Amino acid sequence: MTTPTDTFDAINTCGLRKTYRGKKGEGSKEALKGIDLAVPKGSFFALLGPNGAGKSTFINILAGLVIKSGGEAQVWGRDIDREPRQARAAIGVVPQELNLDAFFTPREVVEFQAGLYGVPRKERATMEVLDAMGLADKADVYSRTLSGGMRRRLLVAKAMIHRPPVLILDEPTAGVDVELRQQLWRYIRELNQDGTTIVLTTHYLEEAEELCDHIAIISQGELVASEPKELLISRLDQKTIAIRVAEEVAVLPDSLAARGAALDDFGRIAFAYQPSETAIGELLAAVGDAGFTIADISTEESDLEDVFLSITRSIPDAAE
Ligand code: ADP
Ligand code: MG
């Protein structure tokens, strides 16, 4: 695909806003409150957030399915207002809803989409894409006979047929069983390794943590974090160490209490500490200096769950 310059992000938004007009009798809904987000080229990017956070709204604006209320957005360097056709051609979107015409076959669905995007007949890799999605033997059956997992994979095939540099999957694991999920992820990982930028929306932490290299968190229409995964995890900079000592600890000595130690449920001396501020050796030495013999130690790293909870909890007025 031709590109205007080489210095753009796969997706870039600035102050992106969306207010849905309420239905009769309801107030309006501010679904996006000014999102500034950059998705680096080539990344496997998670847009993580609870239900109703605004993830689908964000995706659908980029896909040209929802009209934004304000702000700007570029896809692959193309502004969605000034170059809507090019912007749309740069992404394939696998929607959250399994909306398929029941009386078309997978082959027809994919062919029709290829036609919409002006892919010349000779260059259409329809069967290749269906095959990659494990649907080769279903190419000519009515779509209504496909299972939920097959429909999801057909929507991926449909989104990929014009070979967009950016593929967006909106809550892709809904209705997909475990085995097919693994197969789907394998294919998506391969696409990513071959250079396709992948954006995945999900409200499952494990999914974002396992698959993605960059995580953005959106909550109530606001972006609360966007960082490489490891950085996001380390941002909390919190570790816990639990030290089992040979002696029975009835009361913690003041010297340890002063360092923030506490006895945990297993009678161990536990410290919550910041690795960047405190060396683990200091804590062990303090325990030794207090007259204890160290029998065992275990440490716990904060995982994404902690990060997610701490970030979403720290938003003022989180309750509505
Ligand atoms: P997510 O995908 O993160 O679950 P959505 O973008 O679907 O969130 O929705 C964000 C908010 O906007 C929700 O409060 C939702 O109810 C509201 N919303 C979404 N679509 C519409 C619509 N067409 N009309 C009115 N409100 C909507
Ligand atoms: Mg959604």
Ligand 1 center to 136 CA (angstroms): 35
Q: How far apart are CA 30 and CA 113, in angstroms?
A: 32
Q: Do 58 and 194 lie in a common domain?
A: yes
Q: Do 242 and 280 lie in a common domain?
A: yes
Beta-strand runs (E) in 40-156: 44-48, 70-75, 78-79, 91-94
Ligand 1 center to 92 CA (angstroms): 21
Ligand 1, atom 7: closest residue by C-alpha: 56
Nearest ligand by distance to the CA of 53: 1
Residue-range definition of the domain harbouring residue 257: 237-301
Nearest ligand by distance to the CA of 169: 2
The string over 188-197, giving b where at least 16 C-beta atoms fall within 10 Å of a residue's C-beta and e elsewhere, is beebbeeebb
Q: Do 47 and 185 lie in a common domain?
A: yes
User: For the purposes of burial, counting CB atoms within 10 Å of the CB of 287, is it exposed (0-12), middle (13-18) or buried (19 or more)?
Assistant: buried
Ligand 1 center to 314 CA (angstroms): 22
Q: Do 87 and 210 lie in a common domain?
A: yes
CATH of the domain at 258: 3.30.70
> Which residue's entry shows tokens 């600035």?
14
The verdict on residue 262 lying in a domain is yes
Ligand 1 atom at minimal distance to the Cα of residue 59: 6
Q: Count of domains in the chain?
A: 2
The verdict on residue 314 lying in a domain is no
Q: Do 56 and 87 lie in a common domain?
A: yes
Ligand 2 center to 223 CA (angstroms): 15
Ligand 1 center to 97 CA (angstroms): 13
* Residue (of 36, 134, 133) closest to 92 by Cα position: 133
Q: Do 129 and 244 lie in a common domain?
A: no
Nearest ligand by distance to the CA of 20: 1
Q: Do 258 and 195 lie in a common domain?
A: no
Q: Do 189 and 293 lie in a common domain?
A: no
For the chain, 320 residues long, give each residue's pLDDT as a single digit of tens. Answer: 555 556 899 999 999 999 999 887 788 999 999 999 999 999 999 999 888 899 999 999 999 999 999 999 999 999 999 999 999 999 999 988 888 888 899 999 999 999 998 899 888 899 999 998 889 999 999 988 998 888 888 999 999 999 999 999 998 877 677 777 888 888 899 999 999 999 999 888 778 888 999 999 998 899 988 999 988 877 767 788 999 999 999 889 999 999 989 999 889 999 988 887 888 899 999 999 999 999 999 987 766 666 666 666 655 544 43
CA distances to 61, 69, 76, 185, 260 from 39, in Å? 15, 21, 10, 20, 40
CA distances to 136, 199, 214 from 170, in Å? 24, 8, 16
Helix 148-160 / helix 178-193 crossing angle, nearest 10 deg: 10
Helix 148-160 / helix 106-116 crossing angle, nearest 10 deg: 30
Ligand 1 center to 188 CA (angstroms): 26
Ligand 1, atom 16: closest residue by C-alpha: 52
The verdict on residue 4 lying in a domain is no
CATH of the domain at 200: 3.40.50.300
Q: Do 213 and 98 lie in a common domain?
A: yes
Nearest ligand by distance to the CA of 31: 1
Ligand 1 atom at minimal distance to the Cα of residue 171: 2
Pocket around ligand 1 at a 6 A CB cut-off: 20, 29, 31, 49, 51-57
Ligand 1 center to 56 CA (angstroms): 7
Ligand 1 center to 63 CA (angstroms): 15
Domain end residue (candidates: 200, 231, 262): 231
Q: Is 119 helix (H, G, I), strand (E, B) or coil?
A: coil
CA distances to 57, 100, 104, 196, 302 from 163, in Å? 23, 20, 22, 9, 38
Q: Is 35 helix (H, G, I), strand (E, B) or coil?
A: strand
The verdict on residue 266 lying in a domain is yes
Ligand 1, atom 27: closest residue by C-alpha: 20
pTM of the predicted model as reported, rounded to 2 decimal places: 0.78
Domain end residue (candidates: 209, 231, 253): 231
Q: Do 199 and 129 lie in a common domain?
A: yes
Q: Give the DSSP letter of residue 315.
A: S
CA distances to 54, 130, 253 from 59, in Å? 9, 24, 55
Q: Do 227 and 134 lie in a common domain?
A: yes
Ligand 1, atom 5: closest residue by C-alpha: 54
Pocket test for ligand 1, best of 20, 24, 170 (most atoms within 8 A of CB): 20
Q: Is 39 helix (H, G, I), strand (E, B) or coil?
A: strand
Q: Side chain identity at 19, as an amino acid letter?
A: T
